Amino acid sequence: METIVGMSAIAVGIMIGLAAVGAAIGIGLMGGRFLEGCARQPELASSLQTKMFLLAGLIDAIPIIGVGIALYLLFASGLVDPVAMQALMSAS
């Protein structure tokens, strides 16, 4: 039981961490391209800024969805029972 709980926690941590790293890399690349575009054509800066913020919000939604899926897999799938974990911790 403890091994399943431990491995589930590690899997959830990896899932959330990789989603956050991927989003950070994506936003970093997008921000760099935004600055290049603004330096090349300053008259399009307002249009590019609107599109950049829209895409940044969509990219940031991916880790949030990943957190929801990870917590579902951890608690709602039956791999980890909070009541059983409480009893296990109090027995130790």
Per-residue pLDDT tens over the stretch 75-90: 887 666 666 667 767 7
Quick check: is 87 in a domain? no
Phi-psi sector, 81: left (phi>0), alpha (psi -120 to 50), beta: beta
Residue 35 lies in a domain: yes
What pLDDT, in 10s, does the model give residues 22-45? 999 999 999 999 999 999 999 999
**Would residue 88 count as lying in a domain?**
no
Percent of the chain at pLDDT > 70 equals: 88
Annotated catalytic residues are 60
Q: What is the mean pLDDT of the chain?
A: 88
* Total number of domains constituting the chain: 1
pTM of the complete model: 0.75
Any domain includes 84: no
CATH number at residue 67: 1.20.20.10
Choice between 33 and 4, residue whose per-residue pLDDT is larger: 33
90 assigned to some structural domain: no
Instruction: Report which of 11, 21, 9, 12 is spatially closest to residue 62, judged by C-alpha positions.
Output: 21
Range of the domain at 46: 2-79
Tell me, yes or no, whether 38 lies in a domain.
yes
